[in-house]
Amino acid sequence: MNQDSNVLALDTAFGEISAAIHTARGDFLAAMPADHGKTRSVSIIPMLDGLLSEAGLSWKELDLLSLGAGPGSFTGLRIAAATLAGINSGMNLPILHLSSLAITARQAESSDPIWVLEDARAGEAFIGHYQAEVALDEDRCLTWAEVASEIIPGLYVCHSEPQGSLTGWQRLPLTVSRAKALLAATLAEMDMANVAMLPRYPDPVYLQRSQAEKNVHV
């Protein structure tokens, strides 16, 4: 994908609303603190309108949309996906889907392997493993007990407080804004994207196993 393309990126997977625009003239970032329900959903479009205005763009000048697709908060993912689906209903732009855990990994500064351990509730965790912004394993959903028994402790990052015992683990601070990490992940994926093959409709990644799947392991 041409790096001169006009790209709008959105992520609401872990609390705050993060957005970014990339243009040939420069990059523009925006963030809004966590809000919930209807207030959060109706706040996104005005925020994006303001970001477009700052970038000197109209909606019709966009070439690509980028989504923090998950895993993450069910409500957050649903709101972001619904927002981009509405925006794209009359534009039919390609949508780049990003791992929300990969975005989180970019918020920490380390050359060593980093685990992303996000609480998924119901005794489960979303797990990502990255080094130098490259995935070392596929994103997964495990129970906290499985995290303790199956993963060798190391460096980790997260937004939510872990619910399991993390003896031997070392938590790294998130020193890079999520909007900046979102933009960096978008630009990196653009370099590898086959635009013709990208979907036109957002498809969130939830990862959590169904109750039937959980019962198989009981």
Summarised one tens digit per residue, pLDDT across range 130-152 is 999 899 999 999 999 999 999 99
- Say which residues have a Cβ less than 8 Å from residue 118's Cβ, sequence separation at least 6: 14, 71, 72, 101, 104, 125, 126, 158, 159, 160
pLDDT at 163: 83
Q: H or E stretch including 180?
A: helix 178-190
d(CA 200, CA 184): 22
Q: Which strands, in side-by-side order, build the sheet including 64-70?
A: 26-32, 17-23, 7-11, 64-70, 95-99
Cα–Cα distances in Å, from 74 out to 14, 121, 207?
10, 11, 10
pLDDT at 80: 93
The answer, yes or no, to whether residue 1 has pLDDT greater than 80, is no
* DSSP at 55: H
d(CA 152, CA 24): 43
d(CA 155, CA 172): 7
- pLDDT tens digits for 74-102? 989 999 999 999 999 999 999 999 999 99
Tokens of 19: 């957005």
- pLDDT tens digits for 42-63? 889 999 999 999 999 999 999 9
Rounded average pLDDT over 168-174: 96
CA 11 to chain centre: 5
Preceding omega of 199 cis (within 30 degrees of 0) = no
d(CA 58, CA 52): 6
Given its phi and psi angles, is residue 22 left (phi above 0), alpha (psi -120 to 50 degrees) or beta?
Answer: beta
Q: How confident is the model at residue 126 (pLDDT cuts 50, 70, 90)?
A: very high
Q: Domains in the chain, ordered, with CATH?
A: 7-99+178-216 (3.30.420.40), 103-171 (3.30.420.40)
Q: What is the percent of the chain where pLDDT is above 70?
A: 91
Q: How confident is the model at residue 212 (pLDDT cuts 50, 70, 90)?
A: very low
Beta carbons of 97 and 203 less than 8 angstroms apart: yes
